[in-house]
Amino acid sequence: LKKTLSLITTCLVLLTAKSKKTLAKPGVKNVVLVEGVRTPFLQSGTTYADLMPHDLARAALQGLLHRTGFPKEAVDYIVYGTVIQEVKTSNVAREAALGAGFSDRTPAHTVTMACISSNQAMTTAVGLIAAGQCDAVVAGGVEFMSDVPIRHSRKMRKTMLSLNKAKTLGARLSLLGSIRLAHLSPELPAVAEFSTAETMGHSADRLAAAFGVSRQEQDEFALRSHTLAKKAQDEGLLSDIVGFKVPGKDIVSKDNGIRPSTMEQMAKLKPAFVKPHGTVTAANSSYLTDGASAVLIMSEEKALAMGYKPKAYLRDFVYVSQDPKDQLLLGPTYATPKVLERSGLTLADIDVFEFHEAFAGQILANLKAMESDWFAQNCMGRKAKVGAPPLDKFNMWGGSLSLGHPFAATGCRLVTTVAHRLKKEGGQYGLVAACAAGGQGHAMVIEAYPQ
Amino acid sequence: MAGLRALGVLSRITVRHRYTLFSARTHVNYEVKGDVAVVRINDPTSKVNTLSVHMQKEMAEVLGEVWSNDAVKSAVLISSKPGCFIAGADINMIQACKSAEEVTYISQEGQKMFEKIEKSPKPIVAAINGSCLGGGLEFAIACQYRVATKSKKTVLGTPEVLLGLLPAAGGTQRLPKMVGLPSAFDMTLTGRNIRADKAKKMGLVHQLVDTLGPGLKGPEERTMEYLEEVAIECARGIVNKKIPLTKEKGMMQKVQDYVMSFPFVRNQIYNTVQKKVMKQTKGLYPAPLNIIDCVKSGVEQGSDAGYLAESQNFGKLAMTTESKALIGLYHGQVACKKNRFGVPEKEVKTLAILGAGLMGAGIAQVTVDKGIHTIMKDTTLEGLNRGHQQVYKGLNDKTKKKSITSFERDTTLSNLTGQLDYSGFQNADMVIEAVFEDIAIKHKVIKEVEAVIPPHCIFASNTSALPIKDIAAASKRPEKVIGMHYFSPVDKMQLLEIITTDKTSKDTTASAVAVGLKQGKIIIVVGDGPGFYTTRCLAPMLAEAVRVLQEGVDPKKLDSLTTGFGFPVGAATLADEVGIDVAAHVAEDLGKAFGPRLGGGNPELLKTMVEKGFKGRKTGKGCYVYQPGLKSKEVNMELNDILESFKLTPNPAVSSDSDVQYRLVSRFVNEAVMCLQEGILANPVEGDIGAVFGLGFPPCLGGPFRFVDTFGADKLVEKMRRFEDVYGNQFTPCPLLLDHAKDPSKKFHK
């Protein structure tokens, strides 16, 4: 009976016509995704440990060139995202592009917007093309958590800077003499939200509690993510990966963080942030990851003229922001209805959902928020809920929980995955949504390119 | 069989029927969730929960049922009110008692109930959100386990001492065991509120719960549910032995315990604390000494002696005039935190302040962090800079104390605009002027301001003595003009004196009161006249103080006489703080208005001091010499020459220490009563509140009016007559005071 029921529903879904045939707008250039690639995402401190961020970025950019065979000089512009900046390569976009053998005549800039940095890179590219400034833009993002800038304390920095200016030996010696033990304690990059001094995991735990998401639900969702990722990996669906020869080490060609466990194993873990009664654990959170991604975005006409078959149209997108304390990770809830309205679509029109999974608790809280009239009315100023995406269309090839989450590289992975899933599953519209530190969020509608 | 079953049903019905009959409980209820009983406290008649006779009775019933129900293994105690766990014992219950024995009995009942809870065979977890004070805290610490939310509203403390009482339901006995002697003394003797994070560190609560944002319900509602869920888990954990009730002691704790095991060390602590209390209270407040006594009895002679001392001392304290005075002030304070003029038509969203001096910046400081856009205007960049720095420092100090984050400090400051011109005044809803006390300048300012502000905007003057109607004379719309007299330092002094003229509209008053309440002030609304209420009471006392100085009493002696009477700040120090120039100015103005009655010392003395640059603390010299960085201050020796030239010969008949004290106080009190008589004051309550919170009238006396009630108007009049014989009409009792002296049944406070 269950089977027939689901069959009927599938038929019904297939029969229901989309509310719109295409999202092309008169007078607006069609922007397309030609190709998207990424390095394998590795847990930080593993095979990539001795690299630098621009090395990873280079690998993704080279992989893109290699896979598309795109002439380097035809790239008009490069936009790249990163979150934790390596101070030596503060404009990592430029360093990576030069290192990857792009033309030194192609300008490149770096953007940052926490976990939606590469989304910002892509939408910047879309804007450049739509405005007629460029025809072919490479966008992407890199995150390298195996090495992060750890600074001297402010006191020590001040002493060292004064030392530069000290003219006499006596002045230098007296400055050196002023160094105390306290000067030597290092300053780690902030893991906490600057405005609230709360770590993201702690906020996620509170968010899960606010929506009554249980530990069990979170563990189940994390297990689902890992199981689906494993399946996708085994079936060879993660075709956006380009192999990477790490100097002095083997060629890396697979993500290494996918590890389907059992509910019993996961239940043993202690909460990581809110102790002792919290629900967010290491197993139901995304982990520190190294990785880079890159996409080639073009105007449709130019792509076709150059003989490329685009993978998908990049359509409407929105950025949202809300209270960084209590609604830090609710970006998808706010962004989804907004982008659907812009496109004139309903939730039912979407065939493929790819949401960034920061924490299982965060995803489940977002799903509950989207299903709640109370939340829509009291917090979003909407008349009614928009509804939550059906799970059978949701992150079907794994997500950030299992594949890993190199902050600034995740956005391109989501968009490329939507394009690949639309093709594989025969859908027409896909939706990408993500949350980011600072209480911000993003969503984009993607339309399959006609076969 | 069927019959039997029917009988069973029937009996169940009757049982339930009877149950509902008996359990028409209104304040305490419970539900059983699995094996945990969730006991909810909710006083339906009030915004806060208090431990009343009724509440205690229902609590005893409910706990009895919990204990006898075999399905229940543990209990959670929680309030249904999001902002309040239990705010303390019902003060009216104590006030209603006629004798010390009755009060002692109340204490003993409380002790017994909490002892039962302490010895409960089933663990009880107190789930605390909001205020957990006094009896509420004593209740919580009798429970086996405490979980509290990190909400800013969650505060724990024993404020009984502030009412001249002591924690009398086991508080003086359990606290030392729980947090150690030093912390227990700190809590019970200062009565200060302790935030949740600090309480956790002290060992007062076991676990903290985060506050939640909006989810599927409102933030407060869901936070309460979450607290309950966590508390239930704790209760189960205790039953399952997963959560140990005895915490393993750290090294520091062990060392401390070892040190404390020597009677010598403990005695040293008692002595130190006792000395400190005596120094601060001058022995005028019995409660702190009694608290030390109770703690000592418990620790040294065992808990039986401790509990007995606690209940008996409590009974005694409740009958003291000091406690009655303090409770009176508490009630008055509550009354003065209400807006009896209704809701203003327009909420003040933008407030402009003229003058960025000490007062102007102080007003900005208490306004800007209440979400009101604040404009601070000065005439010079230096002045503006100084004012801005004052506001920044106030906020930054809060950041250092961790009561706000640096981020909150910055966002708050973004609400403050500093400027030299009148731009943006077209959006102001209220303008408060804090410019120099000169009627000509005030007139110039009011004209300039009225040219730029919108029609609904209120003009308030922060003058301390100039009559508002004189200032309003230059206004085109006197109905929008009002006086808002703040006290320095604005962020510390709780009082705001609002002055209305007969032209001030009711809505203007309502709006001024609303702003003051938002600023966290206790408000008295008084009629217009020279010096209004507070300045008018202070002036004769300061005039008398000047005479006392002229009669050869040195400033230090004068200070010790006034503080010995209960004033928190001595008269000479107060003059320095207010500013000798301001005092001289006020003395001259009020002298003109009221004639010789306000005289006393020679006003020329103050003027000479001002001429020499002895303007008080702000110039580094006044009655005392102030050196930056030095806390102790020395008498200004250069003052001696001036005093010498103004020397008067004291009359030995009225110059004993006690006489000097009463000369100072009686003039203050007489002027206060006269203000009531003339209708400047609306009622004696506001008079008491204004005197205590604005001028530092001894809190243990409860304010000038309560002082007259307690001391006896006849006795006061008798003293004044004696002074009158020597000094003349400055000591003539006013008619209203004489009325009270004639008829002892007449009291200002019922």
* CB-CB under 8 Å, A206 with B212: yes
Q: Could you give the CA distance from residue B498 to residue B491 in angstroms, rounded to a whole number?
A: 17
Peptide bond into B489 cis (omega under 30): yes
Amino acid identity for residue B1 in this structure: M
Residue with more model confidence, A19 or A333: A333
Q: Average pLDDT, whole number, for chain A?
A: 94
The token pair at A250 is 């083997």
Amino acid identity for residue B281 in this structure: T
What is the nearest CA distance from B230 to chain A, expressed in angstroms? 7
Query: Which residue among A195, A212, A326 places its CB closest to the CB of B214?
Result: A326
| CB-based contact, B216 to chain A, within 8 Å | yes
Query: Which residue among A205, A212, A277 places its CB closest to the CB of B215?
Result: A212
Residues of B in contact with A202 (CB under 8 A): 210
Calculate what percentage of chain A has a pLDDT beyond 90: 86
Rounded mean pLDDT, A159-184: 89
Q: Could you give the CA distance from residue B633 to residue B556 in angstroms, rounded to a whole number?
A: 10
Rounded (5°) CA angle B615-B617-B622: 45
Give residue B6's pLDDT.
Answer: 40
Report pTM.
Answer: 0.90
| CB-based contact, B121 to chain A, within 8 Å | no
Give residue B14's pLDDT.
Answer: 40
* CB-CB under 8 Å, A207 with B215: yes
Q: Which residues of A touch B (CB under 8 A)?
A: 194-197, 202, 205-207, 209-212, 274, 276-277, 323, 325-327, 365, 368-369, 372, 374-375, 378-379
What is the DSSP-derived secondary structure letter of residue B247? Answer: P
Calculate what percentage of chain B has a pLDDT beyond 70: 97
Give residue B627's pLDDT.
Answer: 85
Q: Could you give the CA distance from residue B199 to residue B192 in angstroms, rounded to a whole number?
A: 12
* CB-CB under 8 Å, B405 with A210: no
Give residue B254's pLDDT.
Answer: 84
- Residue B239's contacts (CB-CB under 8 Å, 6 or more residues apart) are B35, B73, B74, B122, B123
Which residue carries 């920044």 as its tokens?
Answer: B392
Top residue of B216, B217, B408 to mutate, by most chain A CBs within 10 Å, is B216
* B28-319 placed in CATH 3.90.226.10: yes
When pLDDT is cut at 50, 70 and 90, the band that residue A188 belongs to is confident
When pLDDT is cut at 50, 70 and 90, the band that residue B4 belongs to is very low
Residues of B in contact with A369 (CB under 8 A): 215
What is the nearest CA distance from B116 to chain A, expressed in angstroms? 29
What is the DSSP-derived secondary structure letter of residue B426? Answer: G
Q: Closest residue of A to B232, CA-based?
A: A277
Query: Which residue among A195, A210, A325 places its CB closest to the CB of B222?
Result: A210
Backbone φ and ψ of B725, nearest 5°: -60, -35
Query: Which residue among B212, B216, B230 places its CB closest to the CB of A277?
Result: B230
Q: Could you give the CA distance from residue B335 to residue B92 in angstroms, rounded to a whole number?
A: 15
Residues 258 to 287 of B: which have CB under 8 A from any A CB? none
* CB-CB under 8 Å, A197 with B216: no
Amino acid identity for residue A288 in this structure: L
The token pair at A156 is 């020590």
Query: Which residue among A205, A211, A325 places its CB closest to the CB of B215?
Result: A211
Backbone φ and ψ of A392, nearest 5°: -75, -5
| CB-based contact, B222 to chain A, within 8 Å | yes
* CB-CB under 8 Å, B407 with A196: yes
- For the four alpha carbons of B572, B576, B577 and B582, in that order, the dihedral sign comes to positive
- For the four alpha carbons of B445, B446, B447 and B450, in that order, the dihedral sign comes to positive
The secondary structure element, H or E, covering residue B687 is helix B684-695
Contact A71, A337 (CB under 8 A): no
The token pair at A57 is 């970025």
Residue with more model confidence, B261 or A123: A123
The token pair at A129 is 């093309």
Task: For residue A353, list its beta bridge partners.
Answer: A394, A431
Virtual torsion, Cα B260, B261, B262, B265, nearest 10 deg = 10
Give residue B23's pLDDT.
Answer: 55
Residues of A in contact with B222 (CB under 8 A): 209-210, 212
Q: Average pLDDT, whole number, for chain B?
A: 92
A169 burial class (0-12, 13-18, 19+ CB within 10 angstroms)?
A: exposed
Amino acid identity for residue B257 in this structure: D
B527-542 as b/e, with b when 16 or more CB fall inside 10 Å? Answer: bbbbbbbbbbbbbbbb
B672 burial class (0-12, 13-18, 19+ CB within 10 angstroms)?
A: buried
Rounded mean pLDDT, B471-478: 95
User: Pick from B644, B559, B639, B550: which is nearest to B602 by CA?
Assistant: B550
β B28-33/B36-41 pair status:
antiparallel
**B30-79 residue pLDDT tens:** 999 999 999 999 999 999 999 999 999 999 999 999 999 999 999 999 99
Q: Could you give the CA distance from residue B143 to residue B674 in angstroms, rounded to a whole number?
A: 53
| CB-based contact, B219 to chain A, within 8 Å | yes
What is the nearest CA distance from B368 to chain A, expressed in angstroms? 19
β B36-41/B74-79 pair status:
parallel
When pLDDT is cut at 50, 70 and 90, the band that residue B596 belongs to is confident
Residues of A in contact with B407 (CB under 8 A): 194-197
* CB-CB under 8 Å, B218 with A378: yes
Alpha carbon of residue A96 to chain centroid: 19
Residues of A in contact with B216 (CB under 8 A): 210-212, 368, 372, 374-375
User: Pick from A108, A186, A107, A92: which is nearest to A407 by CA?
Assistant: A92
Give residue B620's pLDDT.
Answer: 87
Q: Closest residue of A to B405, CA-based?
A: A196
CA distances from A282 to A203, A215, A257, A258, A287 (A): 15, 12, 12, 14, 8
Residue B250 pLDDT more than 60? yes
SS (H, E, C) B96-143: CCCCHHHHHHHHHHHHHHHHHHHCCCCCEEEEECCEEECHHHHHHHHC
Query: Which residue among B207, B213, B233 places its CB closest to the CB of A206?
Result: B213
**A289-304 residue pLDDT tens:** 999 999 999 999 999 9
CA distances from A206 to A139, A350, A379, A437, B153 (A): 34, 30, 17, 15, 18
| CB-based contact, B210 to chain A, within 8 Å | yes
Residue B2 pLDDT more than 50? no
Q: Closest residue of A to B207, CA-based?
A: A276
* CB-CB under 8 Å, A209 with B226: yes
- 3 state DSSP class of B148: strand
Query: Which residue among B214, B222, B405 places its CB closest to the CB of A197?
Result: B405
Virtual torsion, Cα B401, B404, B409, B413, nearest 10 deg = -110
Top residue of A194, A199, A277 to mutate, by most chain B CBs within 10 Å, is A277
Instruction: Answer yes or no: B497 catalytic.
Output: yes
Residue A424 pLDDT more than 50? yes
* CB-CB under 8 Å, A372 with B233: no
Rounded mean pLDDT, B708-721: 96
Architecture per CATH, domain B350-529, reads as 3-Layer(aba) Sandwich (3.40)
Virtual torsion, Cα B608, B612, B614, B620, nearest 10 deg = 180
B604 burial class (0-12, 13-18, 19+ CB within 10 angstroms)?
A: middle
Give residue B115's pLDDT.
Answer: 95
What is the nearest CA distance from B75 to chain A, expressed in angstroms? 18
**A314-327 residue pLDDT tens:** 999 999 999 999 99
**A216-243 residue pLDDT tens:** 999 999 999 999 999 999 999 999 999 9
Cβ pairs A/B, distance under 8 A: 60
| CB-based contact, B410 to chain A, within 8 Å | no
Residue B447 pLDDT more than 60? yes
**Among B160, B228, B433, B497, the one annotated catalytic:** B497
User: Pick from B556, B350, B535, B605: which is nearest to B456 by CA?
Assistant: B350
Residue A127 pLDDT more than 70? yes
**A52-75 residue pLDDT tens:** 999 999 999 999 999 999 999 999
**A138-158 residue pLDDT tens:** 999 999 999 999 999 999 999
Give residue B10's pLDDT.
Answer: 39
Residues of A in contact with B403 (CB under 8 A): none
When pLDDT is cut at 50, 70 and 90, the band that residue A285 belongs to is very high
- 3 state DSSP class of B347: coil
Residues of B in contact with A209 (CB under 8 A): 210, 212, 215, 222, 226
β B458-461/B481-486 pair status:
parallel
Rounded mean pLDDT, A184-212: 91
**B168-222 residue pLDDT tens:** 999 999 999 999 999 999 999 999 999 999 999 999 999 999 999 999 999 999 9
The residue ranges of every structural domain in chain B are 28-319, 350-529, 534-742
**A372-388 residue pLDDT tens:** 999 999 999 999 999 99
Rounded mean pLDDT, B442-457: 96
* B534-742 placed in CATH 1.10.1740.10: no
| CB-based contact, B233 to chain A, within 8 Å | yes
Neighbours of B489 (CB within 10 A): 15
Amino acid identity for residue A29 in this structure: K
Give residue A251's pLDDT.
Answer: 94
Please spell the DSSP secondary structure of A389-444, one letter per residue: PPGGGBSBTB-HHHH-B-GGGHHHHHHHHHHHHHHHHT-SEEEEEEEETTTEEEEE
Top residue of B147, B208, B212, B229 to mutate, by most chain A CBs within 10 Å, is B212
Backbone φ and ψ of B23, nearest 5°: -105, 35
For the annotated catalytic residues of A, the residue numbers are: 115, 405, 435
The token pair at B263 is 């009677």
* CB-CB under 8 Å, B209 with A206: no
Query: Which residue among B209, B216, B234 places its CB closest to the CB of A212?
Result: B216
B187-201 as b/e, with b when 16 or more CB fall inside 10 Å? Answer: bbbebebbbbeebbe
Give residue B732's pLDDT.
Answer: 95
Give residue A104's pLDDT.
Answer: 95
Q: Could you give the CA distance from residue B647 to residue A181 in angstroms, rounded to a whole number?
A: 61
What is the DSSP-derived secondary structure letter of residue B150? Answer: -
Neighbours of B286 (CB within 10 A): 19
Neighbours of B24 (CB within 10 A): 6
